[in-house]
Structure 1
């Protein structure tokens, strides 16, 4: 698939806030031989990596949170070539005769036969994978057949002590993102989760859309970003006034405020922890975050507290505080996983807290609506309507 022309930034620093326009960021890959791998949604038949040619059985669903068309490639009907031995000669350890296994109509991935999520994380991030698998393990029965495949963006300059450091960090990130995505695509994911949030807030709502398009054009897949996941979470609660905690410097916080302002959310107060490096973020004690939230962010008349920065460990704290204070406290890794599960799989898991409660209410209302719609239909259709996997 032909790639769009590389975008060149304007002269001078691009900070995402000052006169931001699409095309200012430079995603030109650093010197590399990496080639784009794009999912095929046009051919009726596809060639697998082992050379087998078979039906291309991709599917399309409507994302319930975004209304976007979500295209799911057919990667779980593989045709694994293999043989089994049938004869050995005396004194020889290797077989002298083999026969080929019957491939039939193909076989699914033995572990990820429901959904393969590809996840992009900075090489310095040690929190996203832990959080995602922790939530999956808490829902093992529901999530059987779901897997995550992580691909790390090389971060060779993790210092974030100043605004200038943070902008330099993002410039280096952009030079590595396509190479990272190309590597991720070799695992044949069906949907991509962006496990680094700062770049998804950069440039506000338009910046988020531009970034998603860059990755979608490269891979052919739909993308979940932290910024849009927070947007969808706040819409679930009808939240309009929020406070925010981040690990960022001022320039990162300004981009976060810009994003929320552009989608109609008022940021009443934002607390940036100003972590000195990308690796520092994972070492921030939970007690520090709790102190900031309790003393500075639980203000009267706010609708929710939002945490940004995917390497900041916040899932357990958000769940605990939410039960105590009674308003949504949205941890970005929870929001990302919830968003991706709803968009790509049309199901949801118990991530803890109010987000799960809101989803449960929605599911119950959907089922009640179905019951009302099918009340005069024969019983078998009525039962079938309730068997749709959209409720716990």
Structure 2
């Protein structure tokens, strides 16, 4: 039997319990016959006010992610999607590959991560020099730079917003994000990448591409794009950037 609503694909999505943005943004980009089913990682201490506290968040994620995957598997998804991004950039390219292997080993399914989705998008656009926006502390920014640098991209500028808590990431305003886009942009920057799935930037990135005339990659849009295209779903999605509209 085929699922009545997810008759094309059912995606199992893993997100922190504190994340209020990735779920509605994924729903915003939905296409007929594809459904997203969320499993939450319980974040007991959401303090991100220092590098040590930021690393503690990842420790909590690592302790709970296996159980979160097992819970969503009971819905019998066809594919896994990571609704969190910091862990997918950690320890650079090899760290991302090991993370993907971990999820595959637990679930037996292919998986979309924000880090790999951004990699694919940047290569598709032929970008070499990038500007990056994150909600992270400096240690998170360092791992993001490590990931992109190891892939051969030049990170010309990075703006870490240093959000004090995990929930506070979702409180960053469109004005603040617009200012961050402008800050990391330069004439020789080929593309701008936004990390952090709890930053709401899908709609703003779509608009920013028009006034900058270059790709602005919101991580939630890139991850959703990767998940759809990996599963042979080529529907165009409007209002979420050129990736989903044109590729």
**Which TM-score bucket, shorter chain as reference?**
over 0.9
Q: Which residue of 2 aligns with 1:192?
A: 80
1:334-369 CA distance string (max 9 Å, x none): 00000000012342432543324541xxxxxxxxxx
Q: Does 1:132 align with 2:26?
A: yes
Q: Distance in 1 between matches of 2:110 and 2:241?
A: 27
| Structure of greater Rg | 1
Asked if the contact 1:193/1:224 (under 8 Å) is kept, the reply is: yes
Q: State how 1:309-328 maps to structure 2 within 5 Å.
A: 309-328=196-215
| Number of equivalenced pairs | 246
| RMSD, aligned CA | 1.1
Asked if the contact 1:166/1:249 (under 8 Å) is kept, the reply is: yes
Q: Distance in 1 between matches of 2:144 and 2:186?
A: 19
Call closer, same or farther: CA 1:232–1:268 in 2, change over 3 Å.
Answer: same
Asked if the contact 2:16/2:40 (under 8 Å) is kept, the reply is: yes
Q: Which residue of 2 aligns with 1:118?
A: 12
Asked if the contact 2:195/2:218 (under 8 Å) is kept, the reply is: yes
From 237, 243, 247, the counterpart of 1:355: 243
Given the two structures, how large is their TM-score scaled by the length of structure 2? 0.97
Q: Distance in 1 between matches of 2:236 and 2:35?
A: 14
Q: Which protein is richer in helix relative to its size? A: 2
Q: Which residue of 1 aligns with 2:91?
A: 203
| Deviation for aligned residue 1:316 | 1.1
Q: State how 1:153-192 maps to structure 2 within 5 Å.
A: 153-192=41-80
DSSP-derived class of the 2:14 partner:
strand
Q: Which residue of 2 aligns with 1:344?
A: 231
Q: Does 1:292 align with 2:180?
A: yes
Q: Distance in 2 between matches of 1:113 and 1:354?
A: 26
The answer for unaligned runs of 5 or more in structure 1 is 1-106, 137-142, 360-392
Moved runs in structure 1, 4+ residues, more than 3 A? none
Q: Which of the pair has the greater relative contact order for Cα pairs under 8 Å at 6+ separation?
A: 2
Asked if the contact 2:137/2:160 (under 8 Å) is kept, the reply is: yes
Q: Distance in 2 between matches of 1:342 and 1:249?
A: 32
Q: Distance in 2 between matches of 1:357 and 1:200?
A: 25
Q: Distance in 1 between matches of 2:113 and 2:121?
A: 12
DSSP-derived class of the 1:150 partner:
strand
| Deviation for aligned residue 1:178 | 0.3
1:18-64 CA distance string (max 9 Å, x none): xxxxxxxxxxxxxxxxxxxxxxxxxxxxxxxxxxxxxxxxxxxxxxx
Q: State how 1:208-219 maps to structure 2 within 5 Å.
A: 208-219=96-107
DSSP-derived class of the 1:193 partner:
strand
Given the two structures, how large is their TM-score scaled by the length of structure 1? 0.62
DSSP-derived class of the 2:2 partner:
coil
DSSP-derived class of the 1:177 partner:
helix
